[in-house]
Amino acid sequence: MKAYLQNRLWLMLLLIGLSLSASAVKSQPADSIAIKGFHLDMRIQVMKLPALKKFVLNLSTKGINTIIMEWEGSYPFVREPLIANRYAYSRQEIAEFIGYCKSLHIQVIPLQQSFGHVEYILRNYKYAALREDQKDFSQVCPSEPELNKKLFTALYTDLVSTHNSPYIHIGGDETYLLGHCEKCKKRAAEIGLSRLYFDHIKMLCDIVVGLGKRPIVWADIALKYPDYINLLPKETIFIDWNYGWDVNRFGDHSKLLKSGYEIWGSPAIRSYPDNYFLTDWQKHFNNIRDFIPLSRHLGYKGIVMTSWSTSGVYSSLFESEDELIDLYAIRHVYPLSGFNMLVDYYLQTLNDDGKLSNDQFIESYCSSHYGFDSPKSKLFTKALFSAPFNVVHGKVIASKEITVGQLLDSATEVLRALKSLQPVKGVQEFRHYLLMADIRIYYLTYMKIEAEINSTDFSGDKIPLYILQLKKLLSNEQRLNDEFTALNKDFLYQSAIDEENLLRNQKIHVLYDRLAKQK
């Protein structure tokens, strides 16, 4: 709570300072945001084409004019066919989707990661020479400029052939391995990490400009290492992504503002700490409420809502020391199908700059979508915002001392409250909240068992008791899987649903099987 109040105070002081200072950027009128966008993450949970079109249609009716598609392996490159995965759309489907968006007056900007977050490319040994590390495939080596230029020129050229937007988003965020390999260590010692980063980004931007497009770059690394930011062509756009933190989180924010480049802002409706078992609803509501008005006051020319299906960090499954079998996303989030309310809050805030508070919006939404009166809406809000804490190694990550058992009790009360509300309309949509709450109880029940088994006073004579508890817990698995399938069968491919269900339950099965051998 203290950190939250400090952030709110900081935002208010900044906005007051911006409005009063003669040297500050003047407050912008409501229509100053030219790009009103939404980012769709296809790294996992690839949406079926009809669901994708339905989602975009809803956005178009409420003022969205831009979609940023992070296609990743769902895009079928002609000259680089190894990149596509089993959920890749056909070229015809890509053309159909982009044409459909055009009919809705929405441009589709392709996002092609070109520095970090390129596991899906570098996993193939065809591209091994581009890897910054031969075990961690997340990043290309910026000290291989010719190889990078050849690959990304081919990828951008393909994307330009299918997309009619004047922009290409080249990524550039979270380059955690910057300066890691021996070549890069040597170069970084000579020229510094900022020059190492921006030499590569400049090469990519120059390719994009050469294709007649404007490059877009995530701003976090530019904020961290800003010294050579002005190497980039003047056409470059930075996206300042902020998911509810101080604007100086990545570095001196004023240097980005003074750089002279066009800037867009970007909040999130799904991001850390969200996972299978947790959605921090209040964090996302506050992020939308606070960051969109701030972006306007800072003179940003666009707003793009991000919605991450995963963190983009992967676990590698190797067949041998050198042969990769597959990559698994470490953190999954509940599908976008369950976040209509947050999407609507973003769209409304984008249009009216937050004239309604979180509570006022939720009450209005509950009335129109579920038929709730004011007391029921307040109960719904309380349940939604209740105890959004993660558990790591048996410890609840919270500002005050709380046990896993207490957190489980809180989650059980949340589900009880949600079940008591009984919407008179929007029943199908409301089932997503019930399922998320049910899955959270399932998860916390397991985490409580796991914590007790890992305690110092655990002994072998307790194994039968925990086997029974795990067996009882697993008796709920099929019910939850069936509900997840029913709610997402029109949204995701069946094999993706099966994988989500499998991975969500894997830890429980592993512990049960280990203990069952010892009974």
Q: In DSSP terms, which residues pair with 108 in a beta bridge?
A: 67
Question: Is the distance from CB of 184 to CB of 132 less than 8 angstroms?
Answer: yes
We find that the CATH architecture of domain 2-112+145-156+220-352 is Alpha-Beta Barrel (3.20)
Q: How far is CA 55 from CA 60, 137, 285, 367, in A?
A: 9, 32, 20, 22
Please give the Cα distance from 93 to 54 (Å, whole number): 14
Cβ neighbours around 28 below 10 Å, total: 16
- Other beta carbons less than 10 A from residue 40's beta carbon: 22
Residue 47 to residue 65: CA distance in whole angstroms: 20
Largest CA distance in the chain: 75
What one-letter code names the amino acid at 310?
A: T
Strands (E), 357-472: 390-392, 395-397
Contact 176, 200 (CB under 8 A): no
Report pLDDT digits (tens) over 268-309: 999 999 998 999 999 999 999 999 999 999 999 999 999 999
Within 21-127, where are the H helices? Answer: 49-60, 91-103, 119-122
Residue 69, SS3 per DSSP: strand
Taking the C-alpha atoms of residue 467 and residue 514, their distance in angstroms, rounded to an integer, is 10
> One-letter amino acid identity for 444?
L
Per-domain residue ranges of the chain: 2-112+145-156+220-352, 388-516
pLDDT of residue 19: 43
DSSP letters for 55-67: HHHHHHTTT--EE
* Burial of 474 per CB tally in 10 Å (0-12, 13-18, 19+): middle
What pLDDT shows up at residue 8? 52
The token duo for 371 is 């038929």
- CB atoms under 10 Å from CB of 129, counted, come to 11
Residue 207: per-residue pLDDT: 98
Reference 131, options 390, 143, 58, 276; nearest CA is: 143
Question: CB of 473 within 8 A of CB of 447?
Answer: no
pLDDT tens profile 411-440: 999 999 999 999 999 999 999 999 999 999
Q: Residues 307, 41: contact at Cβ < 8 Å?
A: yes
pLDDT value, residue 15: 46
The ranges of the chain with pLDDT < 70 are 1-31, 519
Q: What share of the chain is helix, strand, coil (3-state, %, to 5)?
A: 55, 15, 35
